[in-house]
Amino acid sequence: MKLLNFVFLIIGLCIINSESFAQVDQDWATRTDSVSAMDIAVDKTGNVYLAGNIYRGTSGFNICLIKYDATGNQQWMTEYNGIGDGLDGSTAMALDTSGNIFVTGYSFRGPASTNDEIVTIKFNPSGDIFWVSHYNSEGSRIDRAFALAVDSSGNAYVGGYINNVSYGNVYGNDYITIKYGPDGTQLWATQLYVGDGSVNALAVDSKGDVYVTGIGYNLSATGHEYITAKYNSNGDSLWVSRYSGPGNESDGAKSIALDHRGNVYITGYSIGSSGFSDYATIKYNEAGVEQWVRRFDGPVNEDDKAIGIVADKNQNVYVTGEVGVVAGTSYLKDFATIKYNSDGDSIWVKYYNGTGYSADFPVDIAIDTSSNIYITGVSVGPWETGGAYDYATIKYNSNGDLLWEQRYNAANLMDSPVAVAVDKSGNVYVTGISEASYTSTGSVTIKYSQSLIPFAMKAELPAPGSGSKTTFGDTHLTFIGDITISDSVTVYYYLVPAEPGELPIGIIRIGDYYW
């Protein structure tokens, strides 16, 4: 076979391995005064949406939605003031495939000071309100939503709690899950008796089945536990699973993830036998049968609480949260992130200790298409700058290598992120609450871009044939098809990642190589 020597340059025309994202830059940071950010989302063209709450004096807070373009310029802001003209708040946001924006939360209905109802709003990409749907349980007490998802057909699913369950003279909270059609019609609302609790997280699969998890009173009436439920697309209950840790006390699920095989992953906090909380992560199969439980106790005997979980395409899951690092000192915390494989084996554990060597609390986690993990949280800065709270955003690859860290400090005061998102181009977006001065608080939204570093590869290869392969370090180029070397040759290749599967990354044409 004829041997081929060639050099070619890849400048990020397609998918390359995660290590090529070697540089991160802050493209912009946009501030909006008087707004408390709650959630963030990005659409297909790089527009960024911020759901939050804006202070309006004697009227309290209104729900607000802000759109920024890809360069950080504010395009519009839309507000919603409920019929009670009081305290209204957003808690979660989602986009549909057409770029419409859904926001859920709560709205003051009045006249009683405790009369809140669940409110869900659909906006078009121009900021116009399509519809507003209210859910007020029987008894007219406090009802609130905390979780939201949208399916491929534009149906919206909302999860939270309703406060209409009477236990003598005391009212408790039950799970509520609601499905709205694309036009805002309430298709169903399903209540689940949990004694006293709330849906904290919700997910929907490709079949329209809905999964909710959160906290509820345990069956032995000694404290709270995880309660996870699955409903079909008609709102019928398919299963309910409960988990109580060895402390049989105060446990609560905080986050949920699904994989493509129908498995369900839950994480949160659970009291251990020592009396302190641990991470507790659970895998259920599609039928709700528990596959494994993995508990994680940090480096010292202090409270450890997981706050988020994501799953990759190979059924690995990544869990992040806060862990105590000095025994007897509850405020000294670090980020702790764990990767589990599909069998529940711990692949790696990574800690993040910020520049102030003090309190570091993650608040959100995201994953990209290459299984890179992004975590943002609150981190105390260096004492030289006052030891104030900063945004701290970090990136790990799937091997647990820390690829970069970015911090944001507006004025050496309090900067607290609330959410992170990543788009298909690898841009990362963080939003939160920031003090510009002791009398000026608002939201700050940041975009980070990751530059592709051009690199060259040189190798001596056999003439391409079906299945022939060469190796460049950790990168495999696999040639496919029977190709005759000629002046018009086009060589097709694949990047084969370390994990199973193949990703097409491009075409080398004449001019890209020589021999």
Q: Which of 464, 463, 490, 460 is CA-nearest to residue 479?
A: 464
CB atoms within 10 A of CB 509: 12
pLDDT reported for residue 390: 95
120, with CB counted inside 10 A (0-12, 13-18, 19+), is buried
Torsion-angle region of 221 (φ positive above 0: left; ψ -120 to 50: alpha; else: beta): left
321-330 per-position pLDDT tens digit: 999 988 667 6
Most distant pair of Cα atoms in the chain: their distance = 87
pLDDT reported for residue 113: 53
Tokens 């790089």, residue located: 46
Alpha-carbon gap, residue 20 to 476, rounded angstroms: 15
pLDDT reported for residue 330: 66
35-72 per-position pLDDT tens digit: 999 999 999 999 999 999 999 887 789 999 999 999 99
Residue 361 lies in a domain: no
Beta bridge partners, 210, equal 204, 231
pLDDT reported for residue 478: 40
CB atoms within 10 A of CB 498: 10
Residue 46 lies in a domain: yes
Q: Is the pLDDT of residue 469 over 50?
A: no
Convert 127-154 to b/e letters by CB count within 10 Å (16 or more is b). eeeeebbebbbeeebbbbbbbbbbbeeb
Residue 500 lies in a domain: no
Tokens of 390: 């900063």
CA 437 to chain centre: 30
pLDDT reported for residue 6: 31
SS3 57: helix
Q: Which of 485, 486, 482, 506 is CA-nearest to residue 494?
A: 506
Residue 51 lies in domain: 36-204
pLDDT reported for residue 249: 84
Q: Is the pLDDT of residue 138 over 80?
A: no
SS3 58: helix
Residue 483 lies in a domain: no
Prediction pTM value: 0.84
CB atoms within 10 A of CB 295: 14
The number of folded domains in the chain is 1
Tokens of 393: 């955003």
Residue 65 lies in a domain: yes
Phi then psi dihedrals of residue 272, to 5 deg:
-90, -175
Asked if the peptide bond before residue 111 counts as cis, ω within 30 degrees of 0, the response is: yes
Whether 354 contacts 390, CB under 8 Å: yes
pLDDT reported for residue 381: 83
SS3 59: helix
Residue 78 lies in a domain: yes
Residue 126 lies in a domain: yes
Beta strands in 34-155 (DSSP E): 35-42, 48-55, 61-68, 74-80, 89-95, 101-108, 116-123, 129-135, 143-150
- pLDDT > 70 fraction of the chain, expressed in percent and rounded: 79
Q: Is the pLDDT of residue 506 over 60?
A: no
Alpha-carbon gap, residue 423 to 405, rounded angstroms: 18
Residue count (the chain)? 515
Q: What single string gives the DSSP state of each residue in 324-369?
A: E-STT-TT-EEEEEEEE-TT--EEEEEEE--TTSSBEEEEEEEE-T
pLDDT reported for residue 385: 64
Lowest-pLDDT range, 236-240, 343-347, 437-441? 437-441
Q: Is the pLDDT of residue 289 over 50?
A: yes
Alpha-carbon gap, residue 450 to 428, rounded angstroms: 8
Q: Is the pLDDT of residue 495 over 90?
A: no
Q: Which of 79, 87, 83, 71 is CA-nearest to residue 51?
A: 79
Whether 192 contacts 202, CB under 8 Å: no
More confident call, 58 vs 416? 416
Residue 174 lies in a domain: yes
- pLDDT > 90 fraction of the chain, expressed in percent and rounded: 67
Cα R_g (the chain), whole angstroms: 25
CA 200 to chain centre: 13
Q: Is the pLDDT of residue 404 over 90?
A: yes
More confident call, 512 vs 357? 357
CATH of the domain at 166: 2.120.10.30
